[in-house]
Structure 1
Amino acid sequence: MVLLAMLWPAQMLTVAGVFTATSQGAIAQHFHTAQIAWFTTIYALVVALATPFVAKAGDLFGRKRVMIAILAAGLIGDLIAVLAPSYEVMLVGRAVAGLYGPIAALVYASARDVFPPRHVGMATGLIGSSAGVVLVVCPLAAGWLLDHSGFHGVLWALAAGIALGLLLVLLFMPNVPPTEQRVHFDWVGGLLLGGSATVLVYALGQGGTWGWTDTRILGLFAACIVLAVAFVLVERRVREPLLDVRMLARPSVATVLAGSAIAQGTFFTAGTMVVFVALYPAIPGVSAGLGWSGTHNALVGTPAGLLVIIVGLIAGLLTRKIDPRLPWRAGLLITTAGLISQGFFHHNELQIILAGCLTSFGGGLVLSCAGILLLGAVSHREQGLASGMAIMLMNLANALTTQLMFTALNNDRHILKGTAFYSDEALTNAYFTLAGCMAVALILSFFIPRVLRPDQIDTGAQPATV
């Protein structure tokens, strides 16, 4: 039951991603909003900014207490969202629910404290690999709920899942003493990072409407740069930084963190494109959606979901014998090609299955190798901090790539009764934009120095520090 009390809350993050992605098209049409991008973006921003604070709070107050607190916050946020009378109130709920996002960092950090040393690896592996089952089952469940109960049914099911996670932690999660007595919270750094990211995301979202040379857009970009520079200067001076600038100065860590954040953020963003391709209605001259039911869409996407699991397992075995940079680069190249193919071919079931499987094949390699590369680039002492940084940067990348995707979509949209619908050209351009983001990660991959393989990590070898 202890393992279940850790596994369930951690995998509810994956469940939340699938459920909210499935329901956001219906939400946009229900509230007649053209700003549905913020449904995902505001959640990702809060997760990114809350992660380092939550991780430090776990060290100071005990991880079980903090897990209970953020599970309760997530439940409150989901209830606000499902009961929201307006889209603006729903966004408030999504922001509050984002406080639950760092739960995975606490779960993985707790594994060493809760399980005997000989069982830590097995328990951690089970917690991580269970995501594959979730990715296969949850789209079917979300599709069925959407077809029979609308988006409210999907969001109620999500709230029920969070409530069950809270109950499991309360009843079965052991109490582990705090690991630190005093912790300095870098509030200034958090505000500067949050301000910089929020300004950048807002500028990307408004660029298509105001024009990229508009003085307001240029001013927002300038403000983003100023805040980012101030953040770096602050982080170099504080005792407990949000991001360890000295660690980031090492090429192996910087390139792995940046590349994995962009690649994973882009891959997860690409998964939301199915909403506009498959679930939006087919309206001649207005919307190029296919008008499928949620269940039909989930069934069509099942082969791609299974492929992510299979390829991920194979990649995990391969990286014990070969340089993990090789499957990482292959995954990035294949995913880029897959996104380009999805841009061209998204007009029927066969095209979506084949193009989606190509993207998922590469995505399986990407998701499997990202964590392996990070473990090989840092020491055992740095793993906790590096993992927190990776989660934070991935969510920031997810927010940015989501906004870039909507910028491409909005260049050829039609507003009908307050809701934005997208042409076939808009869908193609959005896929091409995401392919470009993945190509950036591919270019970065060739600058990653050699890192340790998993078998070398097991023997106690140390990563390079230059």
Structure 2
Amino acid sequence: MSEAVVSPVRVGRLSIGALGILALALGTLQSVVEPALPLLQRELGVSPAEGALVGNTLLVTGAVVAPVAGKLGDRYGGKRVLVRLMAVVSAGGLLAGLAPNLPVLLLGQVLQGVMVGALPLSFILVRHHLPAGASQLAIGVVIALFTGGGMVGTLFAGPIAEGLSWHWMFALPTIAIIAMTLVVTRLMPHDPPIRSDSRIDWPGMVLLSGTLLAFMLGLVKVTGSGLPPLAIGGLAVVVAALATGWVVVERRAASPMVDLRMLAKPALWHSCLLTLVITTSFGMVAFLLPQLFAVSADGYGFALSTTDIGLFLLPGAVAGAVGDSLGGIAARRFGLRAVLIVGAVVTAATMIALVSLHTAAWQLALAKVLAAIGAGAGTTALLTRAATAVEAGDTGIATSLLVVTRVIGVAVGSQVAGAILDAGSDAVTGRPAESAFAAGFAMAGLVAALSLSPLVLRSTKKGIQA
């Protein structure tokens, strides 16, 4: 394999800004479901576990598409693949905006899910068109704006859903995505693809996509449908068989989708493992808090509207953007291990405190802020570490693996939290018992504490090696 000898075209702030605003619009579209989930559950007549599926459908697609998008971006150019993915996202957003029922909404979420592939494609463009130091800063900015889109979506989902309808909270960000895609297409120069005589490893792509899809759909079924042990065992066998087949194909491929030697680098697999732990805990918190805000006030809940839920979640969205933007900087200054340990201690302590301290709305809002800062700083530091630990030609696939891990972690956390609430719901009213929320917070705290295991202390001893 040989790369084309072409000097990269340096880009200015306007091009990077357009890429960032596109990330902002994508983050907005991704986040509108969170504050509106109780409303969607009421209007669509679904349980908490089924409600988690509305958001996780997008994550399932994202987990499948992200590594494929990253590899294709490395091979054919990030801009070329990014524009095509945005066309699919736009179709999904418009479909969700017109959805008359749950199946159509889920189909729209499936198409929207390819937006997860936009992040590694953006990293390819940034890495190619900027020098090393500036590219690290730009990666942090893009991630921060994607997270900032979560702030925008959280804030405006309620007023839009209540003032117009929930359909518009999908349609409006989609219009912005279409507009910014056109701007990026005009301003961002093409990044030359990597020239190679080897064919694309389509078998590897299919097997990896199948493994992720089987795992994510199996997770939804196991936590939401109460499958018998035999069916659960069958799903586990399918996932294991697909994963084994993928490893075998990658070891024999002349030009594998994922070079397993790269995946074996401690900087990469340690980052994937820790990202999974951090995002699983955060996924539980992100699902439980709006559910608790929406529970009727004749007991332990708050009976908040979608707009009010968004306002209480807004500080957490801001904190997440701050954590994302500062993660790489903090790790470089204080060391990766320090960032992870502080984040784990704060998150675990916050979740354990919520087991008994969840009687005031400000307590929940503060908990979201602390958890978002810890998760954002930790995962961004790990992503930056992985992006700078591989060759430039592997940036897309390496960061895709981290993005997929983030997606899987959030999906696992929210689906498990939904199952906990379902298990603790009253058979007549369908309302979860207060003890179910307490159990969910305790579980989230225990998962966060796993980041303090000896493996973490060893794997992050030397911090980021950039």
Which bracket does the TM-score occupy, shorter chain normalised? Answer: 0.7 to 0.9
Amino acid paired to 2:24: Q
The separation in 2 between residues aligned to 1:184 and 1:431, in whole angstroms, is: 48
Cα RMSD (Å) of the superposition?
A: 3.1
CA contact (8 A) 2:324 2:380 kept: yes
Which stretch has the larger CA shift, 374-383 or 43-52?
374-383
Offset from partner CA, 1:295-319 (integer Å, 9 cap, x none): 3223333443444455566665443
Offset from partner CA, 1:25-59 (integer Å, 9 cap, x none): 22222121232222122211211211222223224
Q: Which residue of 2 aligns with 1:432?
A: 442
Offset from partner CA, 1:207-246 (integer Å, 9 cap, x none): 4666576322222223323333333222222234344322
- Residues 50-449 of structure 1 mapped to structure 2, 5 A cutoff: 50-115=65-130, 120-131=135-146, 133-181=148-196, 184-207=199-222, 214-278=229-293, 280-282=294-296, 289-309=301-321, 316-375=328-387, 377-378=389-390, 382-414=394-426, 421-443=431-453, 444-449=455-460
Offset from partner CA, 1:336-371 (integer Å, 9 cap, x none): 222233343333223213333432343344244323
Gaps of 5+ in 1: 458-466
The separation in 2 between residues aligned to 1:93 and 1:376, in whole angstroms, is: 35
The separation in 2 between residues aligned to 1:147 and 1:318, in whole angstroms, is: 40
The separation in 1 between residues aligned to 2:225 and 2:23, in whole angstroms, is: 40
Amino acid paired to 1:299: L
Gaps of 5+ in 2: 1-13
Q: Which residue of 2 aligns with 1:28?
A: 41
Q: Which residue of 1 aligns with 2:461?
A: 450
The separation in 2 between residues aligned to 1:376 and 1:124, in whole angstroms, is: 11
CA contact (8 A) 2:283 2:409 kept: no
Amino acid paired to 1:395: V
The separation in 1 between residues aligned to 2:255 and 2:277, in whole angstroms, is: 25
Which stretch has the larger CA shift, 297-306 or 87-96?
297-306
Cα 1:437–1:297 shift into 2, 3 Å = same
Cα 1:414–1:323 shift into 2, 3 Å = same
Q: Secondary structure at the match of 1:150?
A: coil
Q: Secondary structure at the match of 1:291?
A: coil
The separation in 1 between residues aligned to 2:58 and 2:64, in whole angstroms, is: 10
Q: Which residue of 2 aligns with 1:463?
A: none
Cα 1:119–1:159 shift into 2, 3 Å = same
Cα offset for 1:201?
A: 3.7
**Percent of aligned positions with the same letter in both sequences?**
22
Which stretch has the larger CA shift, 63-72 or 177-186?
177-186
The separation in 2 between residues aligned to 1:387 and 1:134, in whole angstroms, is: 20
CA contact (8 A) 1:60 1:182 kept: no
Amino acid paired to 1:26: L
Which stretch has the larger CA shift, 392-401 or 260-269?
260-269
Which stretch has the larger CA shift, 104-113 or 245-254?
245-254
Cα 1:194–1:68 shift into 2, 3 Å = closer
Cα 1:449–1:364 shift into 2, 3 Å = closer
Which stretch has the larger CA shift, 16-25 or 81-90?
16-25
CA contact (8 A) 1:339 1:431 kept: yes
TM-score, normalisation: structure 1: 0.85
CA contact (8 A) 1:59 1:180 kept: no
- Residues 32-47 of structure 1 mapped to structure 2, 5 A cutoff: 32-34=45-47, 35-47=50-62
Q: Secondary structure at the match of 1:319?
A: helix
Cα offset for 1:396?
A: 2.4
Amino acid paired to 1:360: A
The structure whose RCO (Cα within 8 Å, separation 6+) is larger is: 2
